[in-house]
Amino acid sequence: MLIKNKSGIEIPSSEITPKHIYLNRRTFMKGAAVVTAAGLVAACRPAPPEGHPAAVATQAAQEAAVNIDPTTGAVATATPRVDELGDPWTPYRDVTNYNNYYEFTTDKNDVAKLAQDFQTSPWQVTVGGMVKNPGVYDIDDLRTKFDQEERVYRLRCVEAWSMVIPWMGFPLRKLLEEIEPTSEAKYVRFETLNDPEQMPGLRSPWYSWPYVEGLRIDEAMNDLAILATGLYGEALLPQNGAPVRLVVPWKYGFKSIKSIVKIDLVAEQPTSLWMDAASNEYGFYANVNPNVNHPRWSQANERRIGEIGRRDTLMFNGYEEQVAYLYEGMDLRANF
């Protein structure tokens, strides 16, 4: 059965999961990580019969919740493969095969193929504008100068699907501290490579290329904002924005601009590609907010890739505690 929502978008009823079921699933996944860690230590214990809750839990955990060495079956590390809410990492094949990257194509399932020969080396990022120390950073400088850390973040696309992605990268703040914005600088403006030879999507006349995004300086200084150079412990693939892209997990995915070649500190609020394309639909802030709908669809819930059903969308994508201070006193409906 298809259910039409207010804006006329059809959602199969099978995709709508009651809250208590997904909350249970979440608790289950948390438990599953523990079950497996214990279960595999006692490796000789007889396996529970197939279909038995313990067997299901173990299998689910093996697939999603812990690092298993595929050859020996041993737990490779004790790190559970879940985010801080207990949500499992989205499978690598989904993270690397279901992408938005309009410079290549608007078809999410075709980006990986069209981007496979994209040249990400040599690569330089020009950093300037209102800063004391402008410069050109080679991608290798960015990788070696700044300690790379793993950050497991939810990515919520404005189209109402989401993933959990283990990024590798470093806080954007570290770069800003090095280049020292002057007192006139109020925003950070980012630009993606604009190379029609390599990016067939740039032929589309609907967008004003290059892809541009921006953050207010205090947002850019928040520890959650990172420049990512890898995911799942490996270098980024072209479809995910290689060799370096922004990740701002409390904002809709389109703010997380890919394949950056230019970063400028500026005084005026930058106009992003999406604001330019449809200012009534995409604002500068683009904070994930279940209470403010997109003009054409609800933002109240989302489809987590790899899951059946839908889950409630969380304020600031679940990062309210870390970022709400940035917007105190602001009308989030007007500043959407």
Ligand X SMILES: Nc1nc2c(c(=O)[nH]1)N[C@H]1C(S)=C(S)[C@@H](COP(=O)(O)O)O[C@H]1N2
Angle between the 53-60 and 19-41 helix axes, to the nearest 10 degrees?
90
Q: Which one, 9 or 38, has the nearer CB to ligand X?
A: 9
Contact 96, 240 (CB under 8 A): yes
The residue nearest ligand X at its CB is: 253
232 interacts with ligand X by CB under 6 A: no
Which residues make beta-bridge pairs with 215?
188
Which one among 17, 62, 162, 192 touches ligand X, defined by CB under 6 A? 192
Dist CA 322 CA 111 (whole Å) = 32
Q: Which one, 30 or 108, has the nearer CB to ligand X?
A: 108
101 interacts with Mo ion by CB under 5 A: no
Q: Which 239-278 positions form the footprint of Mo ion (CB under 5 A)?
A: 253-254
211 interacts with ligand X by CB under 6 A: yes
Dist CA 241 CA 245 (whole Å) = 6
Which one among 25, 151, 189, 258 touches ligand X, defined by CB under 6 A? 258
Q: Which one, 100 or 240, has the nearer CB to Mo ion?
A: 100
- Type of residue at 203: R
Contact 263, 190 (CB under 8 A): yes
Q: Please tell me the number of Cα atoms within 13 Å of 128 on its side-chain side.
A: 7
Which residues of 172-225 form beta strands (DSSP E)?
187-192, 212-216
62 interacts with ligand X by CB under 6 A: no
Contact 194, 252 (CB under 8 A): no
Dist CA 225 CA 55 (whole Å) = 39
Dist CA 278 CA 113 (whole Å) = 28
Q: x/- contact string, 301-330, with ligand X (CB under 6 A)?
A: ------------------------------
Please state the closest distance from residue 214 (CB atom) to ligand X, in A.
Answer: 13
Dist CA 256 CA 244 (whole Å) = 11
Please state the closest distance from residue 139 (CB atom) to ligand X, in A.
Answer: 16
Please state the closest distance from residue 155 (CB atom) to Mo ion, in A.
Answer: 8
Q: Which one, 176 or 288, has the nearer CB to Mo ion?
A: 288
Which one among 188, 257, 288, 314 touches ligand X, defined by CB under 6 A? 257
Counting other chains too, the contacts that 279-286 makes at CB distance below 8 Å and 24 or more residues apart are: 282/158, 282/254, 283/335, 283/336, 284/214, 284/335, 285/251, 285/327, 285/332, 285/335, 285/336, 286/158, 286/251, 286/252, 286/254, 286/255, 286/336
Please state the closest distance from residue 28 (CB atom) to ligand X, in A.
Answer: 26
254 interacts with ligand X by CB under 6 A: yes
101 interacts with ligand X by CB under 6 A: yes
Contact 192, 263 (CB under 8 A): no
Q: Which 140-159 positions form the footprint of ligand X (CB under 6 A)?
A: 155, 157
Query: Could you say which of Mo ion, ligand X, none residue 244 binds, taking C-beta under 5 to 8 angstroms by partner kind?
Result: none
Q: Which one, 36 or 240, has the nearer CB to ligand X?
A: 240
Query: Could you say which of ligand X, Mo ion, none residue 153 binds, taking C-beta under 5 to 8 angstroms by partner kind?
Result: none
Where along the sequence are the contacts to Mo ion (CB under 5 A)?
Answer: 100, 157, 253-254
Residues at the site binding ligand X, with contacts judged by CB under 6 A: 99-103, 155, 157, 192, 211, 240-241, 253-254, 256-259
